[in-house]
């Protein structure tokens, strides 16, 4: 007797062995100029498990046009097969990525060709400029002087130039392709906060991803690797096989309190709403199962315009009606002359916030922009604790630290 062992029966899927997952839904959430995708990924045949608050990672592919452009700029035959040995002798890996392979495959799947190159890459390729002015510019940018740093900052960072743009704008720079490949970083998976709960969707993970696309100062349109690939190549088309994406799931510490009666405050402007959609499904499930009232569930959401980027508006209104959400605070920043942000609303509601965290042992969750929003929100919580908890700044800081160590103050932020 023999039996057929399916691959999912003996290999757990993880970062090194991603699951090739079918996408079953990919729909637009925004109206207007920007795009945000609601994507549902089928995990039925994977044995993957997740909790609301976890992250899903996606391995993307680079844009074929950019890969071809590198071949063209360097006069290279992209179908050439090569082997790259790991220069780091301490590494357990003989090759930095699966080899032998072709330049096309390496540039499409394994190497980062869209980030701004570091100075050591510029130093290496400077040697291959036949034009002295171009060589000089590259060399200057690698110097640790004020002038060097300023020119790197302006020419590379402020102009968002990738390696492709550098090669385009310095036409005499022709490094051999195998040399360039040695210095490029590996293409990294992109993480997304899962926007569903397994209580409602045990067989799929949902993501809420805004498509990255912007114009640079050199008048180029830069497109985010993963989000553009998902938008342009991973649409679900009736009667056609489901598009496939390599994924794995990363556990997080971002978790709801186990008791449904514990009140929560969630602050998630923009795509920061993503994990809270999962949390709300979870609270909804608790409410239906227990038939007991939930603790206060307070959500702060903000977007640019109510008519364009109000994510999951209908779902949020339904939750409000069912009392899964008790208070919904909305900030539409561009619907009036003066900007209104979630932070402004939090400032107005300090007394309510203190009741939740100071008197009812509630939990706080923040998700989204790490650069300014999360910092400003933290500052408002400190002010709230000072003012309504009658504490000094030091005592307020200790209070918040204690909340963090008790997992009652959690942030899931990115920049
Ligand atoms: C834990 C975690 C959770 C996340 N959850 C979500 C989520 O739920 N939803 C979501 O949409 N994203 C989320 N992200 C961000 C996500 O991982 C990706 O970074 C994002 O989708 C962009 O990936 P990309 O490959 O499309 O763009 P990339 O090719 O990686 O390009 C992005 C880069 O482009 C640059 N850039 C972007 N916009 C501009 C601009 N206007 N001007 C100049 N430069 C710019 C920045 O350097 C940025 O890092 C999360 C990140 C982390 C770490
Ligand atoms: N790495 C990446 O490529 C990547 C990808 C996705 C998101 N992100 C980051 O994640 C964040 C969320 O992105 P998104 O596109 O989902 O959001 P978004 O639509 O840009 O912003 C959501 C809302 O937050 C407002 N806002 C801006 N600054 C704020 C602040 N300091 N405090 C509170 N609200 C503020 C915005 O107002 P205004 O815009 O009107 O000022 C808007 O109303 C962005 O800041 C972005 O940096 C990064």
- pLDDT-derived band at 95 (thresholds 50, 70, 90) equals confident
Cα(323)–Cα(280) distance, integer angstroms:
11
Distance in Å, CA 212 to ligand 1 centroid: 7
Pair of tokens at residue 352: 């309510």
Ligand 2 site, residue 403, Cβ cutoff 6 A? no
Beta bridge partners of 142: none
Beta bridge partners of 208: 38
Query: Is 273 in a helix, a strand, or coil?
Result: helix
C-alpha closest to that of 114 among 199, 255, 197, 226? 226
Cα(169)–Cα(256) distance, integer angstroms:
50
* pLDDT given at position 5: 46
Q: How far is CA 230 from the centre of its chain?
A: 13
* pLDDT given at position 87: 72
Evaluate whether 355 touches 298 at the Cβ level (below 8 Å).
no
- Asked if pLDDT for residue 131 goes beyond 80, the answer is yes
Q: Enumerate residues lining ligand 1, CB below 6 A.
A: 55, 60, 114, 160, 190-193, 208-210, 212, 214, 224-227, 271, 274, 414
As a whole number, mean pLDDT of residues 174-182 equals 96
* pLDDT given at position 3: 46
Distance in Å, CA 375 to ligand 2 centroid: 13
Cα(203)–Cα(43) distance, integer angstroms:
5
* pLDDT given at position 291: 75
Q: Which residues contact 289 (CB under 8 A, 6 or more apart)?
A: none
As a whole number, mean pLDDT of residues 281-300 equals 91
Strand order in the sheet with 244-250: 190-193, 55-58, 244-250, 19-28, 36-42, 204-210
Pair of tokens at residue 374: 């999360």
Structural class in CATH, domain 264-414? alpha beta
Question: What confidence tens digit (pLDDT) does each residue in 392-403 have?
Answer: 999 999 999 999
* pLDDT given at position 1: 40
* pLDDT given at position 74: 98
Pair of tokens at residue 159: 């102009």
* pLDDT given at position 12: 87
* pLDDT given at position 81: 97
Distance in Å, CA 172 to ligand 2 centroid: 39
* pLDDT given at position 354: 98
What is the pLDDT of the chain when averaged over all its residues?
95
Ligand 1: atom nearest CA of 195 is 8
Question: What confidence tens digit (pLDDT) does each residue in 183-221 have?
Answer: 999 999 999 999 999 999 999 999 999 999 999 999 999
- pLDDT-derived band at 13 (thresholds 50, 70, 90) equals very high
Cα(281)–Cα(197) distance, integer angstroms:
6
* pLDDT given at position 289: 85
Ligand 2 site, residue 295, Cβ cutoff 6 A? no
Residues found in the chain: 415
Q: Which residues contact 173 (CB under 8 A, 6 or more apart)?
A: 125, 126, 128, 129, 134, 135, 138, 166, 167
Distance in Å, CA 156 to ligand 2 centroid: 24
Evaluate whether 255 touches 51 at the Cβ level (below 8 Å).
yes
The b-or-e profile of 353-366 (16+ CB within 10 A means b, else e) is bbebbbeeebbbbb
Measured by CA distance, the residue closest to atom 1 of ligand 2 is 415
Q: Which burial class, exposed, middle or buried, applies to 258 when counting CB atoms under 10 A from its CB (0-12, 13-18, 19+)?
A: exposed
Cα(313)–Cα(225) distance, integer angstroms:
28
190 alpha carbon, closest ligand: 1
Q: Which CATH architecture is the domain 9-59+191-250 placed in?
A: Beta Barrel (2.40)
Measured by CA distance, the residue closest to atom 19 of ligand 1 is 190
As a whole number, mean pLDDT of residues 148-168 equals 98
Best mutation site among 30, 224, 301, 304 for ligand 1 pocket (most ligand atoms within 8 Å of CB): 224
DSSP per position, 104-119? HHIIIIIB--SSPPPH
Best mutation site among 270, 303, 304, 341 for ligand 2 pocket (most ligand atoms within 8 Å of CB): 270
As a whole number, mean pLDDT of residues 244-268 equals 97
Domain ranges of the chain: 9-59+191-250, 64-183, 264-414
Q: What is the CATH number of domain 64-183?
A: 1.20.990.10
- Asked if pLDDT for residue 10 goes beyond 60, the answer is no
- Asked if pLDDT for residue 300 goes beyond 80, the answer is yes
Cα(185)–Cα(107) distance, integer angstroms:
11
Ligand 2 site, residue 341, Cβ cutoff 6 A? yes
As a whole number, mean pLDDT of residues 256-281 equals 97
Best mutation site among 112, 210, 222, 311 for ligand 2 pocket (most ligand atoms within 8 Å of CB): 210
DSSP per position, 40-106? EEE-TTTT----TT-EEEE-----HHHHHHHHHHTT--TT-EE----S-TTSS-SSSSSSSEEHHHI
Residues annotated as catalytic are 193, 367, 412, 414
Cα(189)–Cα(150) distance, integer angstroms:
31
Interaxial angle between packed helices 313-321 and 274-290, expressed in degrees from 0 to 180 and rounded to the nearest 10: 30
As a whole number, mean pLDDT of residues 51-67 equals 98
Beta bridge partners of 265: 298, 364
Query: Is 11 in a helix, a strand, or coil?
Result: coil
């Amino acid at each position: 007797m023999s039996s057929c062992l399916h691959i999912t029966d003996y290999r757990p899927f993880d970062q090194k062995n991603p699951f090739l997952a079918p996408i079953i839904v990919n729909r637009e959430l925004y109206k207007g100029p920007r795009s945000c995708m609601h994507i549902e990924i089928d995990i039925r045949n994977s044995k993957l498990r997740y909790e609301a608050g976890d992250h899903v990672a996606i391995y993307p592919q680079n844009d074929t046009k950019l890969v071809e452009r590198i071949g063209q700029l360097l006069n290279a035959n992209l179908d050439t097969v090569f082997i790259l040995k790991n220069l780091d002798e301490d590494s357990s890996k003989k090759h930095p990525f699966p080899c032998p392979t072709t330049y096309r495959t390496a540039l499409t799947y394994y190497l980062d060709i869209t980030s701004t190159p570091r100075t050591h890459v510029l130093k290496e390729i400077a040697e291959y400029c036949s034009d002295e002015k171009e060589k000089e510019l590259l060399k200057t940018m690698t110097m640790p002087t004020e002038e060097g740093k300023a020119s790197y900052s302006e020419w590379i960072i402020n102009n968002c130039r990738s390696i492709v743009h550098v090669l385009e704008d310095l036409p005499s720079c022709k490094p051999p392709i195998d040399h360039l490949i040695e210095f490029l970083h590996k293409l990294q998976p992109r993480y997304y906060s899962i926007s569903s709960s397994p209580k409602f969707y045990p067989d799929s993970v949902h993501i809420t991803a805004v498509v990255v696309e912007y114009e640079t100062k050199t008048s180029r349109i830069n497109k985010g690797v993963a989000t553009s690939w998902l938008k342009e190549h991973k649409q679900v088309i009736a009667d056609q096989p489901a598009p496939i994406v390599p994924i794995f799931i990363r556990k997080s510490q971002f978790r709801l309190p186990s008791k449904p009666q514990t009140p929560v405050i969630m602050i998630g402007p923009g795509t920061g709403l993503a994990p809270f959609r999962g949390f709300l499904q979870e609270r909804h499930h608790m409410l239906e199962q227990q038939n007991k009232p939930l603790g206060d569930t307070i959500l702060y959401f903000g977007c640019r315009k109510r008519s364009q980027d109000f994510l999951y508006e209908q779902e949020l209104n339904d939750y409000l009606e069912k009392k899964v959400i008790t208070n919904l605070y909305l900030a539409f920043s561009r619907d009036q002359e003066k900007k209104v942000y979630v932070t402004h609303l939090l400032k107005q509601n300090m007394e309510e916030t203190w009741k939740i965290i100071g008197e009812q042992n509630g939990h706080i969750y923040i998700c989204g922009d790490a650069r300014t929003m999360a910092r400003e929100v933290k500052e408002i919580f400190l002010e709230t604790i000072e003012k309504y908890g009658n504490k000094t700044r030091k005592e307020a800081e200790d209070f918040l630290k204690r909340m963090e160590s008790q997992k009652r103050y959690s942030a899931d932020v990115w920049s």
